[in-house]
Amino acid sequence: MKDIILVITILLAVGLSVMLVRFAQKADKAGKNLEEERYSRMVAEETLQKNDAKLTTLQESLKEDQDKMSKIEDILDQEKNINSDLKRQYDDLTAAKTNLENKLQAVLQEKAAAVAALQAQVRPSPPAAGAQPAIQAAQPVTQSAGAGH
């Protein structure tokens, strides 16, 4: 009976040893899986932090770019206003020039008519010796005034 108890005890010890080894292997495998999971989580967390930092940097850059765009739009609006003001001034000056040219033309026509009237008054009377140079002197003035335009 002692032999049977001894054999049973040995079998039991061997069985328990086998179970203990298997349990240790499973525990080791579970520990490795746990370490891998922890490492993966750490890497994911690190990547997430890096991405958050990049996102913050990109958002700041976007805000700066939007500020620059806003300033550029303001400058563009100012330039448009300046251009429209300059166009209005140009149109006003063109109208004033046309008006002045018309007035000058009218004055030149009145002058030509007055000179013609003077010449008409001078022609019927016999020309005196001193009067001819005065009429001749008046004619080149009329021609040069007409040539100026």
Half-sphere exposure of 106 (CA within 13 A, CB side): 6
Classify residue 69: in a domain, yes or no. Answer: yes
Q: Which residues have CB under 8 Å from 43's CB, separation 6+?
A: none
Classify residue 136: in a domain, yes or no. Answer: no
Structure tokens at 101: 């040219």
For CA atoms 22, 23, 28, 29, give the dihedral sign.
positive
> How many domains are there within the chain?
1
Give the residue, 121 or 136, on which the prediction is more confident.
121
pLDDT tens for 66-95 read: 999 999 999 999 999 999 999 999 999 999
Classify residue 87: in a domain, yes or no. Answer: yes
Cα(58)–Cα(67) distance, integer angstroms: 14
Q: 131-148 vs 2-122: helix axis angle to the nearest 10?
A: 160
pLDDT tens for 41-73 read: 999 999 999 999 999 999 999 999 999 999 999
Report the predicted TM-score, pTM, of the whole model to 2 decimal places.
0.46
Angle at Cα 49 formed by Cα 44 and Cα 52, nearest 5°? 125
Of the pLDDT bands very low, low, confident and very high (cuts 50, 70, 90), residue 124 is low
Classify residue 129: in a domain, yes or no. Answer: no
Cα(125)–Cα(132) distance, integer angstroms: 12
Structure tokens at 94: 């063109």
Classify residue 62: in a domain, yes or no. Answer: yes
The mean predicted confidence, pLDDT, of the chain is: 87
Give pLDDT, residue 143. 46
The string of DSSP letters for 89-128 reads HHHHHHHHHHHHHHHHHHHHHHHHHHHHHHHHHHTTSPPP
**What range does the domain containing 15 cover?**
2-97
Give pLDDT, residue 144. 46
Q: Average pLDDT in the 93-107 region?
A: 96
Percent of the chain scored above 70 by pLDDT? 83
